[in-house]
Chain A
Amino acid sequence: MADLRADLGFLQLRNPVLTASGTFGYGMEFLSFLDLSAIGGIVVKGLYYGPREGNPPPRLVETASGLINAIGLPGVGVEHFAADVLPELRKHDATVIVNVCGDGDEEYFQVIEFLNRYDGIAAYELNISCPNVKLNGACPAMNPHMTRTIVATAKQRSRRPLVVKLSPNVTNIAEIARAAEDGGADGISLINTLLAMAVDLETRRPKLGNVFGGLSGPAIKPVALRMTYQVAQAVRIPIIGMGGICTGRDALEFMLVGARAVQVGTANFVDPAASVRIVHEIAEYCDARGIARVADIVGTLETNR
């Protein structure tokens, strides 16, 4: 069988398939469907310092080949996570990446410093798309200066590799990616959801309690692929691509444009075993074509005519 290992430099993965934050719970929910050690790793649901409730319903609406969510990042907070969830995950030999959230820069750093004290976390993924209430909902991901500043401090406070997760809701994704690299990021993951809305023509009301939400699923794959390609051209640090991945072929397309690993998100809702199925489909693709190492596909897109 083909060698599926993925080398992120700062982290070696069994295979290039991770699960995306917010679509895989804290991992334990999927134990009846798959073995957590059969996938590259899991990125757990976004963690703020304290527990959070999330937005009023309706929180989700389906759209053409996608969904818009306005869940609002409810979660258990770092103390509960470290005490109850992390020890369980360690038993299952899962590679765990924690998605770090914050309302304002300081909260991100508090989450990191708290979790620094615990073992069993392979890296942090800085979710710089969290709305900052004091800044009218603006997030650090929207601006290169804010991105560089928060990444630099987070990196300093962290005793672990730091992946920075980018928002697609920006004019120039390559510029933000370079700012994250300049700030000291060890890797970049993208894309988070696309800002979106849905309305009900009959009731003339928004379909989401929060009015706006984030679009994900197959509908966003072409946008995600384009952005992954642009970022791969702009930075030297490893990239983890995502957005609408449902099959092994989808995953390989992200690798072709430069991602060393991928994350599977919304597909987990439709097929709870999607991530492990995708690992198998990648292996089958490579074996059928005599590709010895899947890593050899990374960044091999041919753009000359």
Chain B
Amino acid sequence: MRHDPAARIIQKKTWGDFHLLRLESQALSSEAAPGQFLMVRTTDGYDPLLRRPISLHDAGGIGLEIFFRVAGRGTALLAAKKEGDILDCLGPLGKGFRLDGFGPDKTAWLVGGGRGIAPLFFLARTLLSKGAGVRVFYGGKTVSEIPLREKFESAGILLDCSTDDGSFGFAGLVTTLLEHELRAGRPDGFFACGPDPMMERAGRLALRLGLPAQLSLEAIMGCGFGVCWSCVHRIKKDNEGAWRKICEDGPVFGADEILWEEA
């Protein structure tokens, strides 16, 4: 983990509430792996006080990208940054996706909803470079919530989209689309990122089908590097549930490790 108080924004793209920033930072990009995240300061002052966790959308060389959706004041401040501005970031943080075993003749399905697509671009590129087959399922409420379609396609990544309102692709939840497709074929594993209810559906589906799955979880984070204990989730340990830190032990966990609250 490194601290770069001045990662420069060299490119910015905007689609409504969604923004993509390309940054330059040797410190942050050198050890970056898919599934890891940054803690980004949104202001020089102390309000908002805390850094915001944002996934690595891509990384390579001295460049890295973040992709985010405005969710409140902190992300709105980030969205107001311009090319040439600098960002104060800590990272890369957390343990990313475990990719051992995913080489040629293996296939991985990646499932992302809304802003949850963010880490899956870096993941898809990395899997492809290892020779694995990759298929991405990308869902949103409506067509304007799946702005990265072209980016995935132009990177040569097989893409299936869904929208809740049917305005583009499959009409329904992305996990429902996944369920349909799983009747026709099986990958060697899947990877998912999105809101908790989606992660729970994806996780239970994987367990039912006996498919290995890795899920990236979210939580409100005070620090992002393991000291405040704010970001805990129930994770199986010795057949019981223990609170584990999402920022340090995750954010990626195996579907078989995660315990969901009983409804």
> How far is it, in angstroms, between the C-alpha of A58 and the C-alpha of B226 when the chains are bound?
16
Q: Which of B48, B226, B227, B229 lies in contact with A54, CB distance below 8 A?
A: B229
B 190-229 to A, binary, CB cutoff 8 A, 1 in contact else 0 = 0000000000000000000000000000011011011111
Q: State whether A273 touches B3 (Cβ < 8 A).
A: yes
Report the separation of the CA atoms of residues A266 and B2 in the bound assembly, to the nearest whole angstrom. 19
A25 at the interface (CB under 8 A from B): yes
In Å, the complex CA distance between A60 and B41 comes to 18
CA–CA, A143 and B49, complex, Å: 33
Q: In the complex, what distance in Å separates the CA atom of A268 from the CA atom of B51?
A: 11
**Cβ contacts A to B, 19 pairs, < 8 Å:** A22-B228, A29-B226, A32-B2, A54-B232, A57-B219, A59-B229, A59-B231, A60-B222, A62-B50, A64-B47, A69-B228, A69-B230, A71-B229, A217-B46, A218-B46, A266-B49, A270-B50, A270-B51, A272-B3
A24 interface neighbour in B90, B227, B230, B243, Cβ under 8 Å: B227
- Kindly state whether residue A77 has any CB partner on chain B within 8 Å: no
Alpha-carbon separation in the docked complex, A29 to B1 (Å): 11
Set A60, A64, A272: member contacting B230, Cβ < 8 A: A60
Is B233 an interface residue when CB atoms closer than 8 A count as contact? yes
Q: Do A71 and B46 have beta carbons less than 8 Å apart?
A: no
- A137 CA to B90 CA, complexed, in Å: 38
A151 to chain B, nearest CB (A): 28
Contacts of B90 in A (CB 8 A): 272
How many whole Å from A64's CB to the nearest CB in chain B?
6
Residues of B within 8 A of A (CB): 1-3, 41, 46-51, 90, 219-220, 222-223, 225-233, 242-243
Interface residues, chain A, CB within 8 Å of chain B?
22-25, 29-30, 32-33, 53-54, 57-62, 64-67, 69, 71, 74, 217-218, 246, 266, 268-270, 272-273
Minimum distance in angstroms from A220 CB to a CB of chain B:
12
Cβ contact within 8 Å between A71 and B228: yes
Given contacts A33-B3, A272-B90, contact A67 B229 (CB under 8 A): no
Q: How many whole Å from B200's CB to the nearest CB in chain A?
A: 15
Chain B residue, CB-CB nearest to A61 = B220
Q: For residue A33, which residues in chain B have a CB less than 8 angstroms away from its CB?
A: 3
Evaluate contact between A270 and B41: CB separation under 8 angstroms: yes
Q: Beyond the given A29-B226, A268-B223, please list 4 additional residue pairs across the A-B interface where CB-CB is below 8 A.
A: A24-B227, A32-B1, A66-B49, A217-B49
Asked if A67 and B225 sit within 8 Å, CB to CB, the answer is no
A246 CA to B45 CA, complexed, in Å: 10
* Residues of chain B within 8 A of A62, CB atoms compared: 48-50, 220
**Residues of chain A lying within 8 A (CB to CB) of residue B231:** 57, 59
Report whether A74 and B229 are in contact in the complex, using a CB–CB cutoff of 8 Å: yes
By Cβ-Cβ distance, the 5 closest A-B pairs, closest first, are: A60-B230, A25-B227, A269-B223, A65-B47, A59-B230
- A64 contacts which chain B residues (CB < 8 A)? 47
A29 touching B243 in the complex, CB below 8 Å, given contacts A54-B232, A269-B222: no
- Nearest CB in chain A: distance from B85 CB, A: 19
In the complex, the answer to whether A29 meets B225 with C-beta atoms within 8 Å is: yes
Beta-carbon contact of A67 and B50 below 8 Å: yes
User: A61 CA to B227 CA in the complex, in Å?
Assistant: 16
Whether the pair A69, B227 counts as a contact (CB closer than 8 A) is: no
* Among candidates A24, A32, A74, A269, residue contacting B50 with C-beta atoms closer than 8 Å: A269
The smallest beta-carbon distance between A199 and chain B, in angstroms, is: 15
Instruction: Contact check, A65 vs B243: say whether CB atoms are below 8 A apart.
Output: no
Which chain B positions have C-beta within 8 A of A65? 46-47, 49
Complex-state Cα separation, A30 to B222, whole angstroms: 15
Assess A269 versus B227: contact at CB under 8 Å? Given A57-B219, A74-B243.
yes
Contact of B228 among A23, A57, A246 (CB under 8 A): A23
Specify which chain A residues have a CB less than 8 angstroms from the CB of B1 in the assembled complex: 32
- State how many angstroms separate the Cβ of A210 from the closest Cβ of chain B: 12
**A66 to B46 CA separation, bound complex (whole angstroms):** 8
Given contacts A64-B47, A65-B46, A67-B49, contact A23 B227 (CB under 8 A): yes
Q: How far is the CB of A175 from chain B (nearest CB, A)?
A: 32
Q: Collect the chain A residues with CB atoms within 8 Å of residue B51's CB.
A: 269-270
Q: Tell me the minimal C-beta distance from B46 to chain A in angstroms.
A: 5
B241, chain A: closest CB distance, angstroms: 10
**B217 CB, min distance to chain A CBs, angstroms:** 11
A33 to B226, CA, bound (A): 14
Cα–Cα, bound, A273→B1 (Å):
13
Kindly state the separation between the CA atoms of A67 and B233 in the bound complex, as whole angstroms.
20
B50: A residues at CB distance < 8 A: 62, 67, 269-270
> How close is A236's CB to chain B, nearest CB, in angstroms?
34
Question: Which A residues are in CB contact (< 8 Å) with B227?
Answer: 23-25, 29-30, 268-269
Chain B residue nearest in CB terms to A25: B227
Closest chain A residue to B45 by CB distance? A65
- CB pair A269–B228 under 8 Å, yes or no, is yes
- Which residue of the partner chain A has the closest CB to B228? A269
